[in-house]
Amino acid sequence: MISFEELKRSFLVSLWFVFLTFPILVIKANPIERTIIWRWENMFFVAIGSFVLSILIRVVNTQKTKRLERRSASDSDTTTSEPLIQVILQNPRYLYPLAGAVTVFALVFPYLFDTYQTNIMTTALMYVVLGLGLNIVVGMAGLLDLGFVAFYAVGAYSYALLNAHFGIGFWMALPIGALFAASFGIILGFPVLRLRGDYLAIVTLGFGEIIRLILENWNEFSQGPSGISNIPRPGMFGIELSLEAAILYIYYIMVALVIVTIFVVNRLQDSRLGRAWIALREDEIACQAMGIDKTKTKLTAFALGATWAGMMGVIFAAKTTFINPASFTFLESAIILSIVVLGGMGSILGVIVGALVLILLPEYLRALSDYRMLAFGAILVVMMIFKPQGIISNVRRTYKYQKQKSGDVQ
């Protein structure tokens, strides 16, 4: 199956990577103690690893071409068997019970596992919502927003500061934080949304960094790098909860928010507005020529995405009771982007799965957690190359019309 020629090429690839990684992976020099450590084992790993990977990619590629050839050869077999997941998604008979089961599991989760696990799950759910929020902007409207975390920060600081200065409680802060973030989205979005896609990405990145740097340096306003502590957890009807109860409470708030978000995003996706977003992502010029106001449509996506980020910011502040600018770096935006890209841009279920996998996996496999960011970076590259539509690609719904038509005729 693998020819000698291919083996030789993989061997050369392997050699190249050994050379490439030699200084950084093998040598470790300490200029103060003046010692050098030679880590030859790494060279060995790189050699084997890159050789195996290279062969694997070759095999996968040849099979792909073969499959394509076979498909074009037997044209009758055009009914490409849909993956199981799509079958489930499109059939309410499977989808509703499954969704019900997942909801029930989410509701009883805290009773099956301990507080620590519940806390982790809350974090994962927060990323689900953040992912769904960014999915509106990146996945549906096709606007690569690299400063998403700025809106998250706006939400978190809204709650922290409003609480510190005016004693505003969590439930008041939740909509206010969302509103502030949305307003920020509109203010920032207005000048930048007419930029071309890649410039937009860089400008949003710049804005995100500016906001973080301001939070870091404007001590009078935000208490600088030391951050704001003693942010109250959410209270229930004015009663202060014990730590355990508060964790449980936030968990259920998050479950509710996830459900609301899924509901809202799902409806948006199938609406006039959602279609306009997707059209905008596909072809801006055609979209405008069809009468869609580009700026307004983009701005709505931007502001709606920001709303969710703002809301999660409030939750984040309430959950950790402490925030500082270090929580709002570009890497945070990158993590959320990885979630969307892994899950599948525009695909709601994909983003949910993506968030759970990317947040929970490193938590449970501690050995992996050091390699977390390395993996996030790799995911962006690998997904773009091998599966740009994500693990669960978005399938457009079909609109039922014939039935209603026959109804009309009666």
Partner 1 sequence: MEYFIELLFSGLTRGAIYALIALGYTMVYGIIGLINFAHGEIYMIGAFTAFIVSTVLSILGFPLLAIIVLAGLAAAVWSSAYGYTVEKLAYKPLRHAPRLSPLISAIGMSIFLQNYVLLAQTSDFQPFPELIPEFDFMEPFVHIVGSSDMVILVVTTLMMVGLTLLIKFTRIGKAMRATSQDRKMAMLVGINVDRVISATFIVGSALAAVGGLLIASHIGQINFFIGFIAGIKAFTAAVLGGIGSIPGAVLGGVILGLTESFATGYVSSDYEDVFAFSLLVLILIFKPSGLLGKAEIQKV
Partner 2 sequence: MNNTILKVSGLSMHFGGIQALKQLDLEVNRGEIVALIGPNGAGKTTFFNCVTGIYNPTEGDVILHTLQGKTSRLNGLKPNKVTEKGMARTFQNIRLFQSMTVLENVMIGRHCRTHSFILGAILRTPGNRQEEQAIIERSHEILEIVGLADEVDNYARNLSYGAQRRLEIARALATDPSLLLLDEPAAGMNPQETQELVQLILRLRDQGYSILLIEHDMKLVMTLSNRIYVMDYGEKIAQGTPEEIQSNPVVIKAYLGEDLDA
Kindly state whether residue 2 participates in binding partner 1, applying the rule CB under 8 A: no
How many chain residues are in contact with partner 2, going by CB under 8 A? 31
Minimal distance, residue 23 CB to partner 1, in Å: 5
Neighbour tally for 28: CB within 10 Å: 13
Q: How far is Cα 353 from Cα 342, in angstroms, rounded to an integer? A: 9
Nearest Cα residue to 185 out of 49, 320, 306:
306
- Tell me which of partner 2, partner 1, none is bound by residue 68, counting a contact when its beta carbon lies within the kind-specific cut-off of 5 to 8 angstroms: none
153 phi/psi in degrees, rounded to 5: -65, -40
82 binds partner 2 (CB under 8 A): no
Choice from 6, 88, 168, 275 touching partner 2 (CB under 8 A): 275
Under rule CB under 8 A, residue 375 binds partner 2:
no
User: Binding to partner 1 by residue 142, rule CB under 8 A?
Assistant: yes
Q: Which of 14, 89, 124, 209 binds partner 1 (CB under 8 A)?
A: 209
Q: Give the residue from 358, 330, 331 showing the smallest Cα distance to 343.
A: 358
373 binding partner (options partner 2, partner 1, none; Cβ < 5 to 8 Å by kind): partner 1
Q: Quick check: 197 binds partner 1 (CB under 8 A)?
A: yes
Answer for which of 21, 62, 117, 288 binds partner 2 (CB under 8 A) is 288
Query: 195 CB contacts (<8 Å, ≥6 apart)?
Result: 203
Choose between 9 and 294: whose C-beta lies nearer to partner 2.
294
The answer to whether the CB of 150 falls within 8 A of the CB of 361 is no
**Residue 199 interacts with partner 1 (CB under 8 A)?**
yes
Joined together, the tokens standing for residue 213 give: 């740097």
Is 118 in a helix, a strand, or coil? helix
Which spans in 113-196 are helix H? 115-134, 148-166, 170-192
Interacting partner of 364 out of partner 2, partner 1, none (Cβ under 5 to 8 A depending on kind): none
Residue 213 interacts with, from partner 2, partner 1, none (CB under 5-8 Å by kind)? partner 1
Q: Phi, psi (5° rounding) for residue 145?
A: -100, 110
Show the tokens assigned to 149: 């975390």
Q: Identify the residue among 202, 241, 278, 357 touching partner 1 (CB under 8 A).
A: 202
Burial of 153 (C-beta count, 10 Å sphere; 0-12/13-18/19+): buried
The listed partner (partner 1, partner 2, none) that binds 220, CB under 5 to 8 Å by sort, is: none
**398 binds partner 2, rule: CB under 8 A:** yes
Q: d(Cα 336, Cα 331) in Å, to the nearest integer? A: 9
| Binds partner 1 by CB under 8 A, chosen from 141, 203, 246, 253 | 203
Listed ranges 126-134, 198-206, 235-243, 358-366: which one lies at the site for partner 1 (CB under 8 A): 198-206
CB 316, CB 126: distance < 8 Å: yes
Q: Does 409 bind partner 1 (CB under 8 A)?
A: no
- Is the distance from CB of 314 to CB of 160 less than 8 angstroms? no
Nearest to partner 2 of 47, 264 (CB atom): 264
Nearer to partner 1, 40 or 401 (CB): 40
Alpha helix (H) ranges present in 239-390? 243-269, 272-282, 284-289, 294-320, 330-343, 348-364, 366-369, 372-386
> Is residue 292 within the footprint of partner 2 (CB under 8 A)?
yes
Distance CA 372, CA 361 (A): 9
Helix axes 372-386, 348-364, angle to 10 degrees: 150
Contact residues: partner 2, CB under 8 A: 264, 267-268, 271-276, 278-279, 282-283, 285-294, 300, 304, 396, 398-399, 401, 404-405
* Interacting residue ranges for partner 1, rule: CB under 8 A: 16, 19-21, 23-25, 27-32, 34-36, 42, 142, 144, 146, 191-192, 195-199, 201-203, 205-207, 209-210, 213-214, 217, 285, 330-331, 334, 337-338, 341, 370-371, 373-374, 376-382, 384-385, 388
